[in-house]
């Protein structure tokens, strides 16, 4: 039996020969040997959009995609996370087996869990300090921490169980849940990708049919239902494991192009009726009864399809070798995407700080704009510092970069 090293050498030789490594019937693109800057670009964009959406309504809010369609930055983040996690840990599983890959995934789950608890602690301290210093309990109520102030002992335990979360802190628990159960699904999808995706679709249908959900504290359920959002996460994994390559002919079709454009226009008009009620007269009642409510908690299919349409057009008009990816103007976005866990946490702090300044200063559109831009500049500067430190540490002969280094928040080393 050949050794692991021999298998790796053989796999690389195969990549050099035909550009694709085939393992257990699933194609793993040879491009995984290079960093996919488009993923970093859109992950960074999602971070900026999330930060802006967490601020009160302002001028820049109208530049985020949630005002022009059904989906928003969350869908971008979840899809890229699934794609990147399968990309990276699929390679680890190919080279070193299921046990090592599962161990690395669980290690990353632990890192994200620790980051969430740390973020929770500092975020509570920030809100409590502002509320007490300015004698304004509305901050605690608005950010959803009144239960913590009343019953801190019980709430801390519930927070460690991921049941209690202040406002804007729902994303990391969703990642933890999705990544926790990812190892067996990755093992299956590396062998039978279509079967794994079919099981994901089945779970989504059961979730919608029987209201499967995880309980939250003090009441309700998780804002992002993992039983539903796993569909987008695993669809990203399916694309990374050869699904995108098999769909290339469909994605390049003119029929697909016009279907996507038509759906995006329909979604744009629908969201326009939310801001301009007079346009409701042109929306058929039958369509309204069929569409509403568009459920974000359980990933409404309208949101899922809207994201697919955006993704299809992006892949069509933004190729991997697009020269703009090396432009210095897009470098801040790419750097933020490459350090998404840290930048996400910073964005949460900055969003509340911006909300506090806007509430106390009662500023107009100008102040809204300044705070939004300053927040983005701080996030970009932090990403540059993280990148610089990582480069310096690498030159200093530190620990070699692990095979999961490119996955970041989705599942690899930051």
Under 8 Å between Cβ of 348 and 116 = no
Q: What is the pLDDT tens value at each position of the chain, 414 positions in all?
A: 444 344 444 444 444 444 434 444 444 544 345 678 999 999 999 999 999 999 887 777 888 999 899 999 999 999 999 999 999 999 999 999 999 999 999 999 999 999 999 999 988 888 888 877 777 777 777 777 777 777 888 889 999 999 998 888 999 999 999 999 999 999 999 999 999 999 999 999 999 999 999 999 988 999 999 999 999 999 999 999 999 999 999 999 999 999 999 999 999 999 999 888 888 878 888 888 889 999 999 999 999 999 999 999 999 999 988 999 999 999 999 999 999 999 999 999 999 888 888 877 776 778 888 999 999 999 999 999 999 998 888 776 544 444 444 455 544 443
> Do 251 and 305 sit in the same domain of this protein?
yes
Query: Whole domain around residue 331: which residue ranges?
Result: 37-67+322-393
> Do 359 and 210 sit in the same domain of this protein?
no
Q: Is residue 15 a part of any domain in this protein? A: no
Per DSSP, 34 falls in state S
> Do 343 and 293 sit in the same domain of this protein?
no
Query: In this predicted structure, what is the pLDDT of residue 21?
Result: 42
- The pTM of this model reads 0.87
> Do 60 and 97 sit in the same domain of this protein?
no
Reduced to 3 states, what is the DSSP secondary structure of residue 133? helix
Tokens of 13: 């030789």
- Which ranges of 33-137 does DSSP label H, i.e. alpha helix? 37-54, 73-96, 98-133
* Cα gap 397→405, rounded to integer Å: 16
* Cα gap 327→331, rounded to integer Å: 7
End residue of a domain, out of 290, 318, 346:
318
Tokens of 413: 């080393």
> Do 231 and 262 sit in the same domain of this protein?
yes
> Do 312 and 333 sit in the same domain of this protein?
no
Of 64, 157, 165, 178, whose CA–CA distance to 409 is shortest? 178
What is the DSSP annotation of 254-291?
HHHHHHHHHHHHHHHHHHHHHH-GGGGGGS-HHHHHHH
> Do 297 and 330 sit in the same domain of this protein?
no
> Do 268 and 222 sit in the same domain of this protein?
yes
End residue of a domain, out of 296, 318, 340:
318
């Amino acid at each position: 039996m050949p050794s692991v090293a021999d298998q790796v050498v053989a796999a690389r030789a195969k990549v050099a020969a035909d550009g694709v490594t085939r393992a257990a019937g699933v194609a793993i693109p040879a491009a995984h040997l290079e960093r996919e800057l488009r993923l970093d670009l859109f992950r960074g964009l999602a971070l900026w959009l999330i930060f802006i959406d967490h601020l009160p309504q302002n001028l820049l809010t109208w530049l985020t995609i949630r005002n022009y369609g059904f989906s928003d930055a969350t869908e971008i983040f979840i899809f890229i996370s699934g794609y990147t996690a399968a990309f990276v840990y699929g390679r680890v599983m190919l080279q070193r087996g299921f046990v090592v890959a599962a161990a690395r995934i669980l290690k990353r789950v632990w890192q994200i869990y620790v980051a969430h608890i740390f973020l929770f602690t500092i975020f509570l301290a920030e809100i409590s300090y502002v509320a007490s210093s300015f004698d304004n309990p509305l901050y605690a109520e608005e950010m959803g921490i009144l239960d913590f102030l009343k019953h801190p002992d019980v709430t801390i335990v519930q927070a460690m169980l991921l049941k209690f979360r202040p406002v804007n802190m729902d994303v990391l628990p969703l990642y933890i849940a999705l990544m926790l159960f990812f190892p067996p699904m990755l093992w299956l999808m590396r062998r039978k990708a279509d079967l794994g995706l079919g099981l994901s679709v089945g779970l989504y249908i059961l979730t919608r049919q029987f209201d499967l959900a995880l309980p939250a504290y003090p009441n309700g359920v998780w804002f992002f239902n993992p039983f539903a959002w796993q569909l987008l996460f695993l669809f990203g994994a399916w694309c990374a494991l050869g699904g995108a390559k098999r769909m290339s002919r469909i994605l390049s079709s003119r029929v697909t192009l016009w279907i996507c454009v038509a759906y995006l226009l329909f979604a744009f008009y629908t969201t326009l009726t939310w801001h301009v009620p007079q346009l409701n007269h042109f929306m058929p009642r039958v369509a309204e009864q069929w569409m509403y409510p568009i459920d974000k908690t359980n990933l409404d299919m309208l949101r899922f399809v809207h994201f697919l349409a955006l993704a299809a057009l992006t892949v069509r008009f933004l190729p991997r070798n697009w020269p703009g990816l090396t432009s210095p103007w897009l470098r801040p976005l790419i750097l933020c995407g490459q350090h998404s866990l840290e930048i996400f946490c910073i964005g949460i702090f900055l969003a509340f700080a911006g909300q506090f300044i806007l509430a106390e200063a009662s500023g107009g559109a100008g102040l809204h704009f300044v705070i939004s831009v300053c927040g983005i500049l701080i996030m970009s500067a932090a990403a540059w510092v993280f990148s610089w430190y990582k480069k310096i540490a690498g030159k200093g002969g530190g620990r070699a970069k692990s095979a999961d280094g490119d996955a970041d928040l989705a599942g690899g080393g930051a």
